[in-house]
Structure 1
Amino acid sequence: MNWKFWQRRKDSDKPKKKKTKTREWVDAIVFAVVAATIIRVFFIEAYTIPTGSMERSLLVGDFLFVSKVNYGARVPMTPVAFPFAHHTMPFINTKAYWDGVQWKYRRLPGLQEIKRNDVVVFNFPEGDTVVLERQDDNYYQMQLRGETRQSIWSNFSVTSRPVDKRENFIKRCIAIAGDTISMKNGMAVVNGKPSPLIGTGGFIYTVEFNTSEVNFKLFEDMGFRIGATAFPTIFRFEGTPDLVEELKKSPFVKSVKEELSPEGEYDPLIFPHDINRKWNLDNFGPIIVPKKGWTVTLDSVNMPLYERSIRIYEGNKLEKVGNDWMLNDKKATTYTFKMNYYWMMGDNRHSSADSRYWGFVPEDHVVGKALFIWLSVDGEAKFLNKIRWSRIFKGIH
C-alpha cells in the first residue's frame, strides 16, 4: 500500500479549522479595502467642491462622482500609498505615500478624448512645490507677489509632491491640444470664435440704482451675490450675463457696467508672467495650446510660454547659454512635444485660480471627468435645510 497516498487522503478527510471571528473580520476588511481601492483608482471616485470657482455650474458643498473610465484610468504613478488618503494622513499630517517608487505615466484606453467644455478633475500643475503652512496658497504665486525664494524656504516648511499626489482641481476645459486661446474683454476666444458661457459663469458688475430704497432680497433670490461700496446707491453684483439682462429691466436700475481689466494693462500674476506681454485676467493671448507631435521654435517669443512644459512637465534639462538654448546638454533650436495639453478655466471667471494664472494642464495630470452630483449640502443653511435636494443626481454639463 502506498503509505504517502493514504496519509494525504487521511489528512484531507480531516475537517478544516474554522476561522475565528477576528480572522473573518480581518479578511472582510482587507477585501473591502482592496476592492474599494481598485474602484477608486480605475473606475470612479468621489470628489467635493471646496471653492466657488465653478459657480453657478457647481456650488461649494457639492459632492461629485468623477469617472476614471471616460478618459482612461491613469495607472498609479506613486503606487505605495495609504488607502483613501490623497497626499496627507488625517490627524497626524504626515505624508500618505512613499515616493521611493515612481512609475512612468501610463493610461488605460478610455471611452473618449477630452472635449471642449468638459468639466475635468486634474492634479494642480504648479502643485509640485508646496508650502505646508500655506497650502491654500501657490508657492510660485507667492514669489510673483514679492516674496523671495530664500525667505519662503527660511520661514516655512516646503515640500515637493509627485504628479498624482498634487492637489485635485476641477475646472472647465476651454481649449484642447492644438487650439489657439485668447481672452478679449472677459470673453474667451477659441480658434478665433467667441466662446460664451451659456447659463453659467460668474462676472462682476457695478450696478447703480436710482434710489437707495432697494429690496436686495429680490435680486439675491434671482441668484446674484451683492457687495456694498462706499456709495449708497452703487453696489457690486456677481452673476451671469443672462441674469444681468434681467437685472437691466428693473425700473430701479440706473446703469450696469461690467468690471474688466483694461486691454494693455500688465498683471504680473497672469501667465506667462512676461513683462513684454501686457496681459491681464480679461485680456490676453493668443496662445497655442501644445499638442503631442507639435514642434515649437526655441526663441525669446515662445520660451516664456513653453519653458515650464518642456523642462518640468516633460522632464528635460533646459537652459540658456548666451543666445542659445541647450536641451539635454545639446544645442537646440526646436522642440517637439511628447504630450497633449489643455487650457482649464473656472466658470466663475473673476473668482477662479485657473490656467490664466499657471498655464497649461498636461495630459498626465488629468484625473477624470466629472459625471453627476450625488449629494449637495449648503453649509450656510440651517441644519434641517442643509441638503440641496434639487441638486441630487444632477448631471454636470
Structure 2
Amino acid sequence: MKWIFKKPASQKPKSKFIEWRDSLVFAVTVATLFRWSLVEAFVIPTPSMENSLLVGDYLAVSKFHFGARTPRTPLQLPLTHQKIWGTEIPSYVDWIQLPSFRLPGLREVKRGEPVVFNTPKDLLDPTDRPIDLKTYLVKRCVAIHGDKLEIRNRQLFVNGIASANPEGEKFAYLVFANDEINNRQLRNFELDSDDYSFLGRSDDGSAVYNMFLTADQASQLKSVPFVRSINLNDHLHDNSSFPIFPSIKASTWDNNNYGTLVIPEHGMEMIVNDSTLNVYGEIIQKYEGHKDVKIENESLLINGKKVSEYTFQQNYYFMMGDSRDNSLDSRYWGFVPEDHIVGKPLFVWMSISSEADLLHKIRWNRLFKSVE
C-alpha cells in the first residue's frame, strides 16, 4: 500500500549562530516598531526646562498621544538618531526621502503641556538634516495654532489672558556675595553648575554671579548671611549672539518683552506684504510643502507666480523652556510646524546626575515621576 502523505524528513537543526542571528533580528525589529509607533526613550540634554525636568532625566515619550509619523528617512541604522552610538559617524543617508503622514492619535497638542519635537532650526548645530533626524528638544507648548502671544515684563499672555506660570519657573538673577561661593554651598540650594556662573568682582569687592533661580530659591538666598543683594538680571541677553525672532523685531522685542505675535494655523489667510513676509516668509519657504518659493522685492512668488494672499497648509506651535532666561526656544528660532511634533513626555524612567558622587548618581526621588 502506498502512502499519500509521507512524514517529512527531519530538518537539519539550526546552528547556534543562525539562532542567535534570527533572535537578534526579531528583537531589533520589534524594538524599532515599538519605538516608532508607541514609546521612545529621550534624555534631557540642557537645563532649559528646569525645574520641571533636569539634565540627565530619561523620559518615556508617547508617540500615540499625538499620532506617530511614518518614517521620512528609511535608510538609517535601527535604534539610532543622527549618529552611530559613541561616534560622529552619521547613522543615515538621505538619498531617499519619503512623504510623511501622521497616524491617528488620541488628541492634539494642548496649550501648556511639555512636548518633544524636532527643532526647526538648531542654533548650536547648523548641519542640514531631514525633518525626522533633526535634533530632539523638549519644551512647553505655550501657544497653539491661532493663538495671539505676548510677553510683558516676563509675564506670558495668550489671547490677552495671563497664562499660569509653570511650577518651578526660573529666571536670571544677579547675586552679589561677600566672597566667592563654593559649589557645596550652592548644592544646598539644589543648584548645579548649569544654574550659575561667576561674573567677577564689583567695584565694592562683591563676588558677582548670574544665577537661574526659582522665586523660592531667590528668597532663600536672600536670607543667607554671605549674600549682599539679589535682583533680576534685566541685561542678560543685551549682547546675545542669538537674535530674537523675527529679526525685524530684534531691536524692539526681547526675551522678556515680546509680541504680539499670531501663531499660524491650517486654513489661516494672510495678506502678503513686507510686514507679514518678515514674520511668516521663512516658514512658507521651508515647511509648507511648496517646491519653488521665492521672496523678492516684498513679494511672494510660488512656482513663479506672484501671490497677494496666502493660506497656510499646516498648524504651528510656540514653544518655550520653563527656565525662561536659560532657554533657546521659539523666541529665537520661531514657530514649530506640526510635522515636527514627535510626542508627549509621560514620565521619568531614570535620572542621573553628572555632578554627584558615585553613590548618589541616581536621583531615586525622580524615578517614575510623571511629566507635567
What TM-score do you get using the length of structure 1 for normalisation?
Answer: 0.83
Aligned to 1:194: 162
274, 277, 280: which one aligns with 1:303: 277
CA distance in structure 2 between the partners assigned to 1:284 and 1:66 by the alignment: 30
Alignment match, 1:18: 13
Residue of structure 1 in register with 2:286 after alignment: 312
Q: CA deviation at 1:167?
A: 0.9
Question: What's the CA shift for 1:221?
Answer: 1.9
CA pair 45-329 structure 1, distance change in 2 beyond 3 A: same
User: 5+ residue gaps in structure 2?
Assistant: none
Q: Is the 8 A contact 1:182 1:189 kept in 2?
A: yes
* Letter paired with 2:118: N
Quote the residue 1:223 is aligned against.
Answer: 190
Q: Which amino acid aligns with 1:244?
A: A
**Matched ranges for 1:335-374 at <5 A:** 335-374=310-349
Superimposed CA distance per residue, residues 174-231 of structure 1 (whole angstroms, 9 cap, x where no aligned partner): 111111112222222211122242431221112346x669899666423354544413
Given the alignment, which residue of 22, 28, 44 partners 1:49?
44
Of the three residues 37, 58, 62, the one matched with 2:53 is 58
User: Separation in 2 of the partners of 1:54 and 1:264?
Assistant: 22
State how many pairs are aligned: 364
How far residue 364 of structure 1 moved from its aligned partner, in angstroms, is 0.5
Partners of 2:183 and 2:24 lie apart in 1 by: 53
Distance 1:313 1:196 in 2: 31
Aligned to 1:396: 371
SS at match of 2:285: helix
Asked if the contact 1:340–1:363 (Cα under 8 Å) also holds between the matched residues in 2, the reply is yes
Cα deviations by residue, 1:65-114 (Å, 9 ceiling, x for unpaired): 11101111111111222101112223563332232222212111111211
Amino acid at match of 1:371: L
Out of 221, 233, 256, which is 1:282 matched to?
256
State the one-letter code of the partner of 1:223. E
For 1:67 and 1:378, the matched residues in 2 are separated by 24
CA contact 2:148–2:260 (8 Å) conserved in 1: yes
Residue 74 of structure 2: aligned partner: 79
Distance verdict in 2 for CA 1:217–1:291, change over 3 Å: same
Of residues 225-234 and 171-180 in structure 1, the stretch that sits farther from structure 2 once superposed is: 225-234
Q: Higher mean Cα deviation, 352-361 or 95-104? A: 95-104
Q: Do the aligned partners of residues 288 and 238 (structure 1) sit closer, same or farther apart at CA in structure 2, a change above 3 Å counting?
A: same
Equivalent position of 1:183 in the other structure = 151
Q: In structure 2, which of residues 94, 109, 116 is the aligned counterpart of residue 99 of structure 1?
A: 94
Change in CA separation of 1:138 and 1:300 when aligned onto 2, cut-off 3 Å: farther
Q: Quick one: structure 1 residues 138 and 280, their matched pair in 2 at CA, closer, same or farther if it must change by over 3 Å?
A: farther
Letter in 2 for 1:230: R
Structure 1 Cα separation of the partners of residues 240 and 46 of structure 2: 27
The 8 Å contact of residues 272 and 308 in structure 2, kept in 1 or not, is answered as yes
Cα displacement (A) at 1:238: 2.2
CA deviation profile, 1:150-187 (whole Å, cap 9, x unmatched) = xxxxxxxxx53110011111111111111111222222
Residues 174 and 231 in structure 2, CA contact (< 8 A), matched pair in contact too? yes
| Partner amino acid, structure 1, of 2:268 | W
Distance 1:218 1:160 in 2: 43
Amino acid at match of 1:52: P
Tell me how far apart the structure 2 counterparts of residues 266 and 22 of structure 1 sit (CA, whole Å).
57
1:329 to 304, 307, 313: 304
Extract unaligned runs of 5+ from structure 1: 128-135, 140-158
Kept in 2, the 8 Å contact 1:266–1:278? The answer is: no
CA separation of 1:263 and 1:91: change in aligned 2, threshold 3 A: closer
Residues 292 and 337, structure 1, Cα contact 8 Å, conserved in 2:
yes
Contact 1:61 1:377 in 2 (8 A): yes
AA aligned to 1:222 is F
Distance 2:181 2:304 in 1: 67
